[in-house]
Amino acid sequence: MLAHLAAQETAAAQVISGEAAEEFDAFREANGDFWVDGFNEWAVGVRAEVPTREIITAWGRAADVFLERAADLTDEDWSRLRVPWVAGEIGVRYLIQSRVIEWWLHGEDLRAGTDQEPNPQHWPIHLTNDMAIRMLPYSLGLAGLSYPGASIQVDLEGMGAGQWHWGLAPRESPPADKKPDAFIEGRAYPFSLVAGRRVAAEYFLDDGNLVVGGDEDLALDVLTNLRAYVE
């Protein structure tokens, strides 16, 4: 995990600085294409003999550069600048959001693996949920699903809380007066674990931390295919 995070952090620091992501390019050259799981496996392989502390140090330095460059962005950069990333160009604000999500989710993985308590924080949880909802047309499309004209209302409480009314087909935004076709309500932290693909939605539906309404089949399709990042 540390190796692929170091690789992605280095790439993020490079693209936000206007440079080429050197390891992304090396992977494409070696494989003729780019896919995230393949790159992560490759990044681990090329670091197989690198000491763990050195990998951690490289990750931290890249994250520092990334955050420094992010702090230098102008308001116009924030709203308009796009940079190359794993699935094509991405708005720089969404690249920053995606890195925060990755840091937090993998932090939770490390805590779970060492029998520590979860570390719920409002903004990482909120950003995870927000990204997953924004990605719904893409995520549903990966499963061969499309719901033109349909929308979903998501109301989440607790740490990371928020409200969203989102269209379920590409480039569709529901009118302000449209009634959602389906509803999801519940606790923001469990929703983020579903969005991070750490826990199946059924677990939280069974224990009542998430509930669905309206077109329940549609809501279940959303929860089943929810994801906060490109795989």
Two tokens, residue 148: 């033109």
The distance of Cα 69 from the centroid of its chain, to the nearest Å, equals 20
Instruction: Please tell me the predicted confidence (pLDDT) of residue 231.
Output: 65
**Cβ(66)–Cβ(99) under 8 Å?**
yes
Residue 191 clears pLDDT 80, i.e. is over it: yes
Beta strand ranges found along the chain (DSSP E): 82-85, 88-91, 151-157, 162-167, 182-187, 210-214
When pLDDT is averaged across residues 183-205 and rounded to a whole number, the result is 97
pLDDT tens for residues 86-95?
Answer: 888 999 999 9
* Cα 122 from Cα 145, distance rounded (Å): 31
226 closest CA partner among 138, 107, 157: 138
Taking alpha carbons only, the member of 209, 172, 215, 174 closest to residue 194 is 209
Q: Which domains does the chain have, with CATH numbers?
A: 2-91 (no CATH), 122-225 (3.30.1050.10)
For 118, the token pair is 């979860």
User: Which pLDDT tens digit goes with each residue over 32-81?
Assistant: 889 888 998 999 998 999 999 999 999 999 999 999 999 999 999 999 99
Q: Indicate the pTM of the whole model.
A: 0.90
Report CA torsion sign: 96, 146, 34, 18. Answer: negative
Q: 149 Cβ partners below 8 Å, 6+ apart?
A: 169, 172
Q: DSSP class of residue 108?
A: H
- The encoded tokens of residue 95 equal 């690249």
> From edge to edge, which strands make up the β-sheet containing 151-157?
162-167, 151-157, 182-187, 210-214
- pLDDT at res. 229: 87
Mean pLDDT within 127-154? 96
